[in-house]
Amino acid sequence: MEEKKIVLSGMRPTGPLHIGHLFGALKNWKKLQDEGNNCFYMIADWHALSTEYRCPENIRKNVEEIAIDLLVSGLDPEKSTIFIQSLVPEHVELHLIFSMFVPIPWLERNPVYKEQIKELKEKELNTYGFLGYPVLQAADILIYKANYVPIGVDQLPHLELTREIARRFNYLYRNIFPIPEPLLTETPKIPGIDGRKMSKSYNNCIFIGEEPDSIRNKIKNMFTDPKRIYRKDPGHPDTCPVFVYQQIFNTQSADEIKNSCLNAKIGCTDCKKIVAEKLVEFLQPFYKKRKEIENNRKDLWEILTEGSKKARQMAKKTLDEVKEAIRMDYGEKD
Ligand code: TRP
Ligand code: SF4
């Protein structure tokens, strides 16, 4: 990207971030920041409430945790605007305005919605707010007139809806919103410790802030090549999740390990020990930064409130334009 663009993305504060997030989203967020784009990174607490409305008391703690994870992963509040969604109430107002003209069938046919309603039955998601989840997401994106939205493929249907909502607004009232583009992360997928996709709901994650001993223990219990039953059997590194970790965290020796595995010269226990140490070593700078931030929560909240104030200035400007376009601007306000 040559030109400075407006970038927006968000994370739901439903738990600490794991190394899948680090390689999936956060690396990309940092890259966009370091390329000099105008980046807005949001902690989407309203979106968390849409599924966690039964126990909202965890959201606040998670907001803080995620904020720390974002900073630890290299997001720099001097370069990016890091903010909390609910501290910018203009999102809610724009969401309401959009809700007036978004046809319900657009929302009902959203594949993410259909899947989640089925998968998360115990959460009782047949609510008004959850159906409107992508409308709020569209408000998040469009209120900053974002050009680019770095997301994972799972969020593509939501971005498609955002684009449709932008087009519909532009057509009905006035051409205010640029049509945002997704930026997909082309990263190696880091499997969870059971070989499936790393995800909190599978309980197979290694967290960015996880203690070294806990990491060693998780790796020790990790799934390996299912066809390798005895130490003397040759392994199949290409179908072993531990080997994916070797490739990412032990790049230099991965080829050697691959050969040793194929020839049964290395056992899985040793292979895991090696990669666990590499991963712990990789996370060292993250631990250090976390300590610094955790010892100074006041600064953390200052970053978040300052970021939210900055985001709010931009959000207010767009909302004023929107209200003018729908002829609901009643002159001077505070
Ligand atoms: N729905 C996104 C997720 O679950 C989080 C999110 C909320 C978001 N608002 C956003 C992502 C705006 C990108 C842009 O991951
Ligand atoms: Fe997997 Fe390593 Fe065991 Fe080979 S030696 S099967 S790469 S854990």
Mutate to test the pocket of ligand 2, among 224, 229, 230 (most ligand atoms within 8 A of CB): 224
Name the pLDDT band for 242 (thresholds 50, 70, 90): very high
Residue predicted with more confidence, 202 or 218: 218
Which residues' Cβ are closer than 6 Å to ligand 1?
A: 8-10, 12, 44, 47, 137, 140-141, 149, 151, 155, 158
Instruction: Report which ligand 1 atom has the smallest distance to the Cα of 136.
Output: 9
Are 205 and 18 spatial neighbours (Cβ–Cβ below 8 Å)? yes
Place of tokens 């799934």: 223
Mutate to test the pocket of ligand 1, among 8, 9, 14 (most ligand atoms within 8 A of CB): 9
| CA 210/CA 196 separation, integer angstroms | 19
Q: pLDDT of 49-85, one tens digit each?
A: 999 999 999 999 999 999 999 999 999 999 999 999 9
pTM of the model: 0.93
Name the pLDDT band for 123 (thresholds 50, 70, 90): confident
| CA 136/CA 95 separation, integer angstroms | 5
Give the distance (Å) from ligand 1 centre to CA of residue 81.
16
Is residue 258 within 6 Å of ligand 2 at its C-beta?
Answer: no
Residue nearest to atom 11 of ligand 1 (CA): 10
pLDDT at 332: 66
Give the distance (Å) from ligand 1 centre to CA of residue 30.
17
> In the 8-state DSSP scheme, what is residue 211?
-
| CA 219/CA 206 separation, integer angstroms | 9
- Residues shown for the chain: 334
Cα-Cα-Cα-Cα dihedral sign, residues 121, 126, 129, 132: positive
Please name every residue paired with 82 in a beta bridge, in sequence order, or none if there are none: 41
> Can you read off the two tokens belonging to residue 34?
């370091």
Are 69 and 205 spatial neighbours (Cβ–Cβ below 8 Å)? no
Which ligand does the CA of 149 lie closest to?
Answer: 1
Domains in the chain, ordered, with CATH?
Answer: 6-189+297-325 (3.40.50.620), 209-292 (1.10.240.10)
pLDDT at 334: 58
